[in-house]
Amino acid sequence: MNLIAAVDRNWAIGFKNQLLAHIPEDQRFFRSMTEGKVVVMGRKTLESLPGGRPLKNRVNIVLSRNKDFQAEGCTVCHSVEELMSELEKYPSQEIFVIGGEKIYTELVDMCDRAYITSIDREYEADAFFPDLDRKDEWEMVHSEDDEEHTYFDLIYYFREYVKKVPQSV
């Protein structure tokens, strides 16, 4: 499974259920990575999408503990166990966890790759992504896209992290 997010210097991802920045190149990257794939999100993330509607051309799966919650155009799972059972239908590399904070925190250990747009700025925030730089089991891999990008006064980087394969003893 994959994680995908845009984070600031403090690994912040949002404030008041909104993204911290809207960067067209990052939005294109997100779309190119997730179109035709499976996206996993929480209820608040679904509600933050335009019109509170599921993303087009994707299988939308929402994890919500509210047993009464339903969302048109989405599969709703009410526990991580139910989610994992639902995700067995799809190849792991086709699954992208897209937020929010609680979903990232619950699923980060089940993922093996993360696509992070790292914004070189600190924002006021109330939602955070797990800091992969502080997790021993994750490492950033440098790719040809590992260069500075700009959008007006924002500087950002596309980063890719992979979970280290445990070494046998």
Tens of pLDDT along the chain (169 residues)? 999 999 999 999 999 999 999 999 999 999 999 999 999 999 999 999 999 999 999 999 999 999 999 999 999 999 999 999 999 999 999 999 999 999 999 999 999 999 999 999 999 999 999 999 999 999 999 665 568 899 999 999 999 999 997 655 5
Which domains, ranges and CATH numbers included, belong to the chain?
2-163 (3.40.430.10)
State the pTM of this model: 0.94
φ and ψ at residue 117, rounded to 5 degrees = -90, 115
For residues 16-29, b (16+ Cβ closer than 10 Å) or e, as one string?
eeebbbebeebeeb
> Which residues contact residue 166 at a Cβ distance below 8 angstroms, ignoring those fewer than 6 apart?
none
Can you tell me the distance from the alpha carbon of 49 to that of 53, in angstroms, rounded to the nearest whole number? 6
